[in-house]
Amino acid sequence: MVIFAPDGVLITPVLDGFGGLYERREAIRGFLETWIGQFEDYEQVVEEFRDLGNGVTLNVDLARGRPIGIGTFV
């Protein structure tokens, strides 16, 4: 969580009603714990990272995981 400023903002795509705007470390942590907690195996690779200045970054990640109880990755 140290990569997020205390007043950081995370914006994610909305998939099946899950995702959106998360403000502050606590909300970001809650989202990530819920999201990653759905998977037995999970990996995330940064495809692009840009420092836009003034403490703002943009990164595009590719993530895949194997949901709990499922044998294949999504």
DSSP 2-66: TTS-TT-EEE---BTTB--EEEHHHHHHHHHHHHHTTEEEEEEEEEEEEEEETTEEEEEEEEEEE
DSSP 73: -
C-beta of residue 8 within 8 angstroms of C-beta of residue 28: yes
Share of the chain above pLDDT 70, in %: 96
Distance between CA 32 and CA 27 in Å, rounded? 9
pLDDT value of position 31: 92
Predicted confidence at residue 13, as pLDDT, reads 85
pTM of the entire predicted model: 0.72
pLDDT at position 49 over 70 = yes
Q: Is 4 a residue whose pLDDT tops 90?
A: no
